[in-house]
Amino acid sequence: MSESADDIRERRGRGLDRAISFSDAVMSIALTLLVLPLVDIATDNPDEPVVHQLDRFSPEILGFLVSFLVIAQFWGAHRRLWEYLVDYDEKLLTINTFWLLLIVFLPYPTARLFTEEATNDGAAIFYLLVLLGIGLLMLFQAWYVAVHPALRHGEDRRTLRDQLLPTVGTTAVFALAILLTLVNREVGLVSLVLLAVVQRFSGKYERRDTRP
């Protein structure tokens, strides 16, 4: 017996929910991996005063905080994109899988960045290139969803500009940070604070009621 249209929609809906839950779980794992080096520091130096430990390992702690906030921003962008979906296809899942791969990989360049000498630009550029790759894949996802309206809710009235502009802003910050790092490492890394501006701008679009 062939499936009815309602049965197909229900099955596809369950598949979409599983894809979203899987993405959330992978990002949770990535955030957990970020904190594991700090746990090792605490357990390997149990007799050291907390104040001294925080000072001695401040680069590692800073790296954790920066990457936690970056991944949190990516999670927000992913949520805003996928909450309008009513269906998916294998191409979208493939793009999302590669995006998640870089998310999980991020703790490695983070560790390299905040443990190498401040005069070494290589680790900073490597870190920012990974962020740029994550941003480009997020932009690719947003574009793919925008040009495939069958995947979106029928009442989604957002324009292509509405869907792409926040992600373009995030990706542009990473590209700018790479260029600035080639001139000055510290300036390039500090420029990541511009992500807060992008987040605020994205929130403006998120609050817009685009449905009738």
User: What are the distances in angstroms from CA 58 to CA 2, 65, 119, 212?
Assistant: 61, 10, 17, 50
Joined tokens for residue 3: 């499936």
Tell me: the pLDDT tens digits for 174-207?
Answer: 999 999 988 888 888 888 888 878 777 666 655 5
pLDDT score, position 212 = 43
Q: State the Cα angle at 202 between 106 and 30, rounded to 5°.
A: 20
Sequence letter at residue 138:
M
Answer whether residue 4 shows pLDDT above 70.
no
Tell me: the pLDDT tens digits for 89-128?
Answer: 899 999 999 999 999 998 888 878 776 665 567 888 899 9
Show me where the domains of the chain are located.
Answer: 5-207
Joined tokens for residue 25: 């779980």
Neighbours of 55 (CB within 10 A): 10
Residue reference for tokens 């550029």 = 125
Tell me: the pLDDT tens digits for 37-79?
Answer: 777 777 877 777 878 777 777 777 777 887 888 888 888 888 8
Helix (H) or strand (E) holding 122: helix 121-146
